């Protein structure tokens, strides 16, 4: 019966939980993972072209934990798809040494670890009220196996793009050279699969992706005052939002031909709102920015961002450069027209981002020398001219002690020994 089949999905997940403490059970789970539908008494569909998961390529910071990437599923059909359960399989590289030791198949590539999976927040299954919400069915550091089931009825995937899950990754510890495969289809436990009562299981069309570390020459940029987001609706749509925006992104110079310099933007992490502890929106994404030209310099920018279960591709109309390098200042937007009731005007949504950003200057060491009374300071990133300032309290006033510094180190030989505290600040020159 259908009720018993649904129950068996949960039983199967529970039986194999506890990675590392029940190796025999984990071995059975991995080898039988592609046959879950048969165990549950359900027929299985090889593919379902209407649902598409394009995993994508993600760039991670080295030696950093708690890096969250967002995965999406797209319904490319003209009508909704109803589902009532999801088995989410996510694998880094070949599953890593832990999986290799259990399968005895030589899997050993060390890559980033998966430290958390959220398949509920902002997804079609967000309204789940059943116990547990989601279940870890036997994960390893580089293999996440999770399931969720609708306690009542089904959930619907309307045509368009939807959040599938948030995956938290950790790049600390020893790893083999990347990039690494980032797979939801080709995993040792089989592909990510949806289940439907009384129907064949649905395996979406899955385009696996990859993970890579941010190159050493990538520079972290931080948003400056003036950065804002406008989410504007017309003709009776949702309330419009306009608020300041804070956050960071990575900027990497790409090979390019004069007179333009092309830069890749990755790891966008922006918060929108006046209360940073409870932002209105949290934006993630990537893009490209270039500037240059013969004579008068111009700039072009494009960003792909996701927020609140929505996604936008934004470009700039005004190509004017108003700030000297290395400060970046541009405005991008996207206008979307949503068909409305034929008797009223169509609903229009305009998303606008004003980006004002500068390299994030940060001290890497501040080392007092008890013998001389001096203080040796080093900082990142390289390649920028900075001014070093000093104060006797955090609130200032800060006085310049060195200007036009092109190096990444300075020794302050005039630090006042009669002050309990000495504070330093870096500014772009």
Query: Is 18 strand, coil or helix?
Result: coil
Q: Is the pLDDT of residue 19 over 80?
A: no
Query: Which distant-in-sequence residues (6+ apart) come within 8 Å of 252 by Cβ?
Result: 214, 215, 217, 218, 219, 263, 264, 266
If asked whether residues 46 and 191 sit together in one domain, one would say yes
Looking at the DSSP bridge assignments, the partners of residue 350 are 232, 335
Angle at 223 between CA 220 and CA 228, to 5 degrees: 150
Examine the fold and report which residue of 302, 332, 359 is the final residue of a domain before the chain moves on. Answer: 359
If asked whether residues 232 and 266 sit together in one domain, one would say yes
The larger pLDDT score, comparing residue 251 to residue 295, is at 251
CATH number at residue 408: 2.60.40.10
> What's residue 12's pLDDT?
24
If asked whether residues 169 and 232 sit together in one domain, one would say no
Q: Is the pLDDT of residue 202 over 60?
A: yes
If asked whether residues 206 and 64 sit together in one domain, one would say yes
Contact 332, 317 (CB under 8 A): no
Longest dimension (CA), the chain: 82
pLDDT in tens, 331-364: 999 998 876 555 556 788 999 999 999 999 988 8
If asked whether residues 386 and 279 sit together in one domain, one would say no
CATH number at residue 115: 2.60.40.680
24-33, 130-139, 315-324: least confident range: 24-33
pLDDT tier for residue 58 given thresholds of 50, 70 and 90:
confident
If asked whether residues 310 and 344 sit together in one domain, one would say yes
What are the tokens at 69?
A: 């990437």
Examine the fold and report which residue of 159, 193, 213 is the final residue of a domain before the chain moves on. Answer: 213
If asked whether residues 103 and 231 sit together in one domain, one would say no
Across the range 12-28, mean pLDDT stands at 26
Looking at the DSSP bridge assignments, the partners of residue 388 are 402, 426
Average pLDDT, the chain: 81
Task: Give the chain's domain count.
Answer: 3
Quickly list H helices, 54-153. Answer: 96-103
Contact 140, 64 (CB under 8 A): no
> What's residue 13's pLDDT?
26
If asked whether residues 348 and 372 sit together in one domain, one would say no
pLDDT tier for residue 107 given thresholds of 50, 70 and 90:
low
> What's residue 5's pLDDT?
30
Instruction: Report the distance separating Cα 376 and Cα 115, nearest Å.
Output: 37
Examine the fold and report which residue of 315, 338, 359 is the final residue of a domain before the chain moves on. Answer: 359
Instruction: Report the distance separating Cα 87 and Cα 138, nearest Å.
Output: 12
Evaluate the omega torsion of the peptide bond into residue 28 and state whether it is cis, within 30 degrees of 0: no
If asked whether residues 393 and 352 sit together in one domain, one would say no
Angle at 194 between CA 193 and CA 196, to 5 degrees: 140
> What's residue 359's pLDDT?
93
If asked whether residues 163 and 36 sit together in one domain, one would say yes
> What's residue 381's pLDDT?
87
If asked whether residues 22 and 94 sit together in one domain, one would say yes
**Residues of the chain with pLDDT > 90: what percent?**
43
Looking at the DSSP bridge assignments, the partners of residue 298 are 292, 320
If asked whether residues 133 and 39 sit together in one domain, one would say yes
Q: Is the pLDDT of residue 31 over 50?
A: no
The larger pLDDT score, comparing residue 127 to residue 34, is at 127
Give residue 155's domain range. 2-213
Q: Is the pLDDT of residue 126 over 70?
A: yes
pLDDT tier for residue 128 given thresholds of 50, 70 and 90:
low
């Amino acid at each position: 019966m259908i009720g018993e089949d649904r129950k068996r999905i949960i039983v199967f997940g529970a039986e194999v939980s506890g990675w590392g403490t029940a190796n025999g059970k984990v071995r059975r789970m991995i080898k039988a993972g592609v046959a879950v539908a048969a165990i549950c008494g359900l027929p299985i569909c090889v593919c379902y072209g209407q649902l598409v998961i394009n995993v994508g390529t993600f760039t991670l910071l080295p030696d950093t934990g708690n890096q969250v990437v967002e995965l999406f599923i797209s319904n490319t059909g003209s009508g909704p798809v109803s589902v009532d359960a999801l088995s989410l399989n996510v694998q880094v590289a070949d599953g890593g040494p832990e999986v290799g030791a259990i399968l005895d198949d030589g899997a050993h590539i060390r890559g980033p670890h998966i430290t958390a999976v959220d398949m509920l927040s902002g997804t079609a299954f967000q309204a789940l009220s059943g116990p547990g919400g989601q279940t870890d069915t036997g994960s390893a550091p580089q293999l996440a196996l999770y399931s969720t089931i609708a306690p009542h009825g089904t959930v619907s995937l309307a045509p368009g793009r939807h959040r599938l899950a948030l995956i938290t990754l950790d790049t600390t510890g020893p790893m083999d050279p990347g990039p690494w495969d980032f797979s939801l289809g080709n995993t040792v436990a089989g592909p990510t699969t949806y289940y439907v009562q009384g129907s064949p299981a649905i395996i979406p069309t899955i385009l696996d992706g990859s993970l890579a570390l941010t190159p050493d020459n990538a520079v972290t940029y931080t948003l400056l005052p003036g950065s804002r987001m406008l989410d504007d609706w017309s003709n009776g749509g949702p309330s419009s939002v306009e608020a300041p925006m804070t956050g960071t992104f990575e900027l990497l110079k790409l090979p390019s031909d004069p007179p333009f310099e092309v830069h890749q933007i990755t790891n966008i992490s922006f918060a929108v709102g006046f209360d940073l502890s409870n932002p209105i929106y949290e934006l993630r994404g990537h893009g490209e920015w270039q500037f240059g030209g013969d004579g008068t310099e111009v700039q072009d920018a494009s960003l792909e961002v996701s927020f609140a279960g929505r996604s936008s591709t934004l470009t700039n109309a005004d190509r004017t450069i108003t700030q000297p390098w290395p400060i970046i200042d541009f405005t991008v937007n996207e206008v979307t027209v949503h068909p409305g009731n034929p008797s009223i005007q169509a609903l229009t949504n305009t998303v606008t981002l004003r980006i004002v950003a500068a390299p994030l200057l940060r001290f890497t060491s501040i080392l007092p020398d008890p013998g001389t009374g001096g203080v040796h300071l080093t900082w990142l990133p390289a390649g920028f001219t900075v001014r070093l300032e000093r104060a006797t309290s955090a609130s200032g006033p800060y006085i310049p002690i060195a200007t036009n510094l092109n190096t990444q180190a300075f020794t302050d030989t005039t630090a006042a020994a009669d002050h309990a505290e000495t504070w330093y600040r870096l500014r772009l020159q």
